[in-house]
A and B are shown apart, each in its own frame.
Chain A
Amino acid sequence: MDRAERRPVRLVVSDDLRRGRGSVFFRLWFAIPFLFWLTLWGVAAFFAAVANWFATLFSGTSPQVLHGFLARFVRFAVHTYAYLYLAAEPLPGFGGRAGYPIDVEIDPPVRQNRWKVGFRLVLVVPALFLLVAFFGSGTTTSASSGGGVNGLGLLVVAAFLGWFFALVRGRLPRGLRDLIAYGLSYAAQTWAYLTLLTDRYPSSDPLIAIGPLPVREDPVRLESSDDLRRSRLTVFFRALLAIPHLIWLVLWGIAALLAAIGNWFATLFTGTSPAGLHRFLAAYMRYQLHVFAYLYLVGNPFPGFTGERGSYPIELRIAERAPQNRWTVGFRIILALPALLIGNAYGTLVFTIAVLGWFAALFTGTMPLGLRNAGALALRYGAQVNGYLFMVTDAYPYGGPNVAPPPLTADPAFAYSPRGA
């Protein structure tokens, strides 16, 4: 298991979340020399990577000199992007030396599988697709074509929002920082894989990306009992099999929207969401999660149509209704805008995961753990956004990866067991 192993490329986070407002305000300008230097270094790294490819193909191991040079390049790239995207505060050095608050540890060269070396440029393509979902395609699509921020990527959106937050509060929220660090961890692994520093395929698993994760008791949280097995037949036809669910989801969504409006008024006046509306909206949120988990291959079985608790291996645990701050209820739509932006970028990520997972699951009959967990993170964030928007909770969605505490008591409603009748 990935989780038990020490990966050859690891992100080390020692950032304390504090940010200087001046440094944040001018961050883009301050980053320009580093980006320029990174470009120059990138040209040299390109030739070094080609040489490393030949050398590793013939000798089976990356030469120490090339490995060291490319490792420094990867480290410098991570430092630069960590600085640019506000995941770290101090200016990075130009030499890619260790010790930066967002740093990368890369193991010394070891023997690599020559087949994997020979076909590296082909093998890396899926990882690059995922990297595009993190960093953006560099192009923006028109609003009329349903685009918008899709072309920006998850990290860019997180940095954009973090910029405003850090300017006001003088610190970056941990969720945003961890989200950026998670993307940088994946980027470091991909660059290292591409430049033949390792033959370990990049893992998109957010649970192992950045070291110890916070344990959070969010009122909307995700639990998984999925075993990663996927039926090839249902995977091949997955998008079509989901059509009845998508239609039902739209119909139910209309009712949920009306219920959410009612819930907004009720919560604004009474301070607490009415029990019936809370239950109805929670069921809708669970159903939506089941359907998207099925559609995006994060879950395997065909979900039920009622959003019943404990009926699906990717499950949403929603806390009982609680008093909410009426000010945040009143301005909920405005307050939710940043979360909606991140949710949109997470949507691009989970779509990419579904496409890559479709091929992987079709050939191997299993969903890669990293893809499954990354997809689950994206779906969990989406569910938290809905919970916030629908006034099911006033807890703001947590943007980064986290772990949920183990349940204190076993709840039979969450004991998923496959059934068909």
Chain B
Amino acid sequence: MRRPASRLARPSTLVLLAGVALWLWAAYALWHSTASVPEGPSLSPHRFFSASFLERSSSYERFLVVDGLLASLTLLVVLAVYARRGQRLMRESAAGRVGTGMLLGMLGFAVVWLAELPFGLVGVWWQRDHGVSHQGYLEWAVESFLGLGGSFLFIAAALAIAMGLAGPLRRWWWIAAVPAFIGLALLFAFLSPYLVPSTSPLRGPHLAEARALERREGVEGTRFAVEDVDRFTTAPNAEATGLGPTRTVILWNTLLSDDFSRAEVRAVLGHEIAHIAHEDPLKQVGWLALFLIPAAGLIELFTRRRGGMARPEAVPVALLVLVAFQLLATPMFNLVTRRIEASADWSSLEATHEPAVARAMFRRLSTTSHGSPDPPGWTALLYGSHPTIMQRIEMTYAWERARRP
């Protein structure tokens, strides 16, 4: 008589363990594809910012953090209720199982949008109150409503893929769906520069400096654009986006105002070009892929009681699982992005050799956006996609130290 295999020796367990090992190896490799940056000396924020600003910015950020936390909590509660009752909305569909699933997915987002609307409006009020935003409430709400259309499209496409695959593949849909999602993410990353509205090419001395920095950082062919945002906000920002031939650095026009010197803008350009040089948009897709695998697996696990992802009844549960996973994974994802940003800061210094300018720029970033330069650790963990301003200032000293003979 054959002895039943022990739990650990079952083929499925072995495959799972191999998958986990592969995942860990990929995460390790991706983590180390971004160079680490030496830590700087621990400095007091009072050396760079007035006590009144530190107090003001801390209060400003605390409010937004509480608002964000309440919004996240509401999001989970609303989605939990939707997971329980959302399937009733199936009667509003004359479509088949996939179409009905798409409807339930979109309605889930719609309910979430309605629930989060007050928190968003409170956030706008707070930003307006501090002069960070000029956007009117109605204008914000309408823009947010129209933006929801993009979310609908995203969720409808994702569900069409997932539910379409779940029909023939049953429990193994997610193995085929993850590559499809990665393909979509790559396509989106490729096209993203064209999806940014109100942009125009960067011109004049800034462009010449950008080209010079490109050469120093070993890249070429980057597009440089300016996005008009001053109608809505005074906060400065920039981003590196696109893949391959669509690689683009976009500067907000608030950064090109008289508040920032040419040298400071150069520091920002150096940082964004570093993202391009490090292939960070591609790495972010890589991280997304790594996070998608457990997320899709968990969705499969939690939706089984509703008949699996092939059934529209499972969609509200899938949404809850996805959002809960995303919230839980955010601190980990922030850890990754902080490392990526720190590395770009370092490369910018290597290209510009202007640590004092970088310090001045970081200071100004903080003062113009009212962001706290030294927020509490838990805030940075939950919301900090970049190193804190103080960490970035400290890093400029670390760079100086590393340069000394």
- A residues contacting B by CB (< 8 A) are 231, 233-234, 236-237, 239-241, 243-244, 247, 290, 300-306, 311-313, 416, 418-421
Contact = CB atoms under 8 A, between A and B. Distances in A.
18 contacts: A233-B107, A233-B111, A234-B107, A237-B106, A241-B110, A243-B152, A244-B157, A247-B153, A301-B91, A302-B102, A304-B94, A312-B94, A313-B94, A416-B94, A418-B94, A420-B93, A420-B94, A421-B96
A271 B144 CA distance: 53
A310 B20 CA distance: 48
3 nearest A-B pairs in the assembled complex, by CB-CB distance: A420-B90, A301-B94, A304-B95
Contacts of B351: none
**Which of B93, B97, B152 has most chain A Cβ within 10 Å?**
B93
Contact of A301 (B93, B148, B312): B93
Contacts of A300: 92
Given A237-B106, A420-B100, A420-B312, A302 B92 contact: yes
B310 to A, nearest CB: 10
Nearest to B160: A244
**Which of A231, A304, A311 has most chain B Cβ within 10 Å?**
A304
The secondary structure that dominates the B interface is helix
Contact of A421 (B102, B149, B160, B311): B311
A302 B149 contact: no
Nearest to A244: B156
Contact of B91 (A236, A237, A418): A418
Nearest to A241: B106
Contacts of A306: 96
B107 A311 contact: no
B145 to A, nearest CB: 8
B89 interface: yes
Contacts of A419: 93-94
B103 interface: yes
**Which of B93, B94, B102 has most chain A Cβ within 10 Å?**
B94
B286 interface: no
Given A236-B110, A244-B106, 18 more contacts: A233-B92, A237-B110, A240-B152, A243-B152, A243-B153, A301-B92, A303-B94, A303-B99, A304-B94, A304-B96, A305-B96, A306-B96, A416-B94, A418-B93, A420-B92, A420-B93, A421-B90, A421-B313
Interface in B115-139: none
B312 A244 contact: no
Contacts of A313: 94
A231 B104 CA distance: 13
B156 A231 contact: no
Interface string B64-103: 0000000000000000000000000111111111111011
Contacts of A421: 90, 96-97, 100, 311-313
Range of interface residues on B (Cβ < 8 Å)? 20 to 34
Contacts of B102: 244, 302
Contacts of B311: 421
A240 B106 CA distance: 9
A12 to B, nearest CB: 40
Given A303-B95, A420-B93, A241 B153 contact: no
Contact of A420 (B95, B106, B149): B95
**Which of B89, B92, B97, B106 has most chain A Cβ within 10 Å?**
B92
A332 to B, nearest CB: 32
A311 to B, nearest CB: 6
A301 B90 CA distance: 9
B94 A244 contact: no
A234 B152 contact: no
B300 to A, nearest CB: 19
Interface string B279-315: 0000000000000000000000000000000011100
Contacts of A418: 91, 93-94
Contacts of A244: 102, 106, 152-153, 156-157, 160
Nearest to B96: A304
A234 B92 contact: yes
Contacts of B312: 420-421
B37 to A, nearest CB: 43
A300 B89 CA distance: 12
B309 to A, nearest CB: 13
B303 to A, nearest CB: 14
Interface string B7-30: 000000000000000000000000
A241 B110 CA distance: 9
A9 to B, nearest CB: 36
Contacts of B95: 301-305, 420
A237 B313 CA distance: 21
B96 A231 contact: no
A277 B91 CA distance: 33
Contacts of A247: 153
A303 to B, nearest CB: 6
A47 B128 CA distance: 49
B91 A305 contact: no
B94 A311 contact: yes
B231 to A, nearest CB: 23
Nearest to B90: A420
Contacts of B149: 239-240, 243
Interface in B311-327: 311-313
Given A231-B92, A234-B92, A244-B153, A305 B106 contact: no
A313 B93 CA distance: 11
A271 to B, nearest CB: 37
Given A420-B91, A420-B95, A237 B100 contact: no
**Which of A244, A302, A303, A420 has most chain B Cβ within 10 Å?**
A420
A305 B156 CA distance: 12
**Which of B99, B157, B313 has most chain A Cβ within 10 Å?**
B99
A243 B145 CA distance: 13
Nearest to A306: B96
A237 B89 CA distance: 14
Contacts of B157: 244
A302 B153 contact: no
Nearest to A418: B91
A413 to B, nearest CB: 14
A245 B86 CA distance: 21
A233 B88 CA distance: 12
